[in-house]
Amino acid sequence: MEVEAAKLIGAGLAVIGLGGVGSGIGSIFSSMISSGARNPSAIAQVQGFMWIGFALVEAVALYALLIALLLLFVF
């Protein structure tokens, strides 16, 4: 197999992990919405955690993107 083709296949495989990230972000906001619906006064408290959690999960998405870009443009 040519290196170029292998790079493209590798980059495509690398972003499969984004499925988990999508479900992670959805889980964070779904728990935020349900906890806010049950107890609206707690929203202010958990908001900080929500944003931190979102940023951390999004970072994993970007690690996957980074590996894909690394495979495509560096090797």
Partner 1 sequence: MAETGSQNGGEGHGPLQQFEIAPLFGGDTQDLAFYSFTNSSLFMVIGILAVTLTLSLGVRRAQLVPTRLQSLAEISYEFIANMIRDNVGTEGRKYFGFIFTLFMFVFAGNMLGMIPYSFTYTSHIVVTFIMAAVVFVGVTVIGFMKHGLKFFGFFLPNDVPIFLAPLLIPIEVLSYFTRPVSLALRLFANMTAGHTMLKVFASFVAPLGGATFIIGGAIPLALVTALTGLEFIIAFLQAYVFTILSCVYLHDALHMH
Closest separation in Å from C-beta 68 to partner 1 = 10
CB closer to partner 1 out of 37 and 73:
73
Closest separation in Å from C-beta 30 to partner 1 = 19
| 3-class secondary structure, 11 | helix
CB closer to partner 1 out of 46 and 65:
65
Q: Does 6 bind partner 1 (CB under 8 A)?
A: no
| Interface with partner 1: number of residues (CB under 8 A) | 12
The answer to whether the CB of 11 falls within 8 A of the CB of 72 is yes
The answer to whether the CB of 61 falls within 8 A of the CB of 18 is yes
CA distance 75 to 17: 20
